[in-house]
Amino acid sequence: MILAFTVPGQPRGMPRHRTTRTGHTYTPKWATEYKAKVALAAKVALRGQTIPDAPLVVYIAAYFDAPKRKPKRVVLPGKYTWSECVLWETLSHDAKPDADNVAKIILDAVLPRDERVADLHVHKRFSNRPRVQVEIKWKDEGASR
C-alpha cells in the first residue's frame, strides 16, 4: 500500500524547543501550525484508513523556492542556465533547514510512532513551486512475503 500526499508551500524543518526564563519549554507556534497542515494533508490522503503496524519506507522530496539569481557557490551542470535547472528541479538545495529536520517535522505530524520507519529517503531541491511531496509505503497484511 502507498500513502502519497503533497503539502503546498515552503518546506519547514523541526526547530529546537525554546525555553523561557522560568525554565518552561515550548515549541514555536509556526512549527505547531505547520505540523497541523501536514497532518491534515495526510488525513485527507488516507481517506479514513489507518497506517498499519508494519515496517515503513518513507520518501520525502522537499522543493524550496529558488532565488531569482544563481548563488555564487552553485555549479550548473553543462550548458544549462539557472532558470532551466530550477524549472527542471535538478539542483540540490544545500542550505537550512537540514534534511533530517525536514523529515522530523513530517514524520512527527503523520506517524504517532515513527520508530516503524525502516527506510527514509529525503531529497531537497530548488523549484518554482515550493512544496513537500511525501510517499509512505508498507506491505499489506495479506500479501505474501
**Predicted confidence (pLDDT) per residue in 40-76, tens digit:** 999 999 998 888 888 999 999 999 998 777 666 676 7
| SS3 at position 64 | strand
- Please check whether residue 81 lies inside any domain of the structure: yes
Q: What is the largest CA-CA distance in the chain?
A: 57
In a domain, 143, yes or no: no
- Number of compact structural domains in the chain: 1
Residue 140 has pLDDT above 70, yes or no: no
pTM for the structure as a whole? 0.85
pLDDT for res 49: 85
Amino acid 31: pLDDT: 93
In terms of Cβ atoms closer than 10 Å to its own Cβ (0-12, 13-18, 19+), residue 103 is buried
- CATH classification of the domain holding 50: 3.30.1330.70
> What is d(CA 14, CA 17) in angstroms, rounded to the nearest whole number?
9
Q: Reduced to 3 states, what is the DSSP secondary structure of residue 124?
A: strand
Tell me if 21 is assigned to some domain.
Answer: no
Average pLDDT over residues 68-94: 75
- Please report whether residue 33 resides in a domain: yes
Domain that holds residue 73: 2-15+26-137
Task: For residues 73-83, give the mean pLDDT.
Answer: 75
Q: What is the pLDDT of residues 118-128, one digit of tens each?
A: 999 999 998 88
Is the residue at 142 inside a domain?
Answer: no
- Is a pLDDT exceeding 60 seen at residue 143? no
Residue 20 maps to a domain: no
Is residue 104 in some structural domain? yes
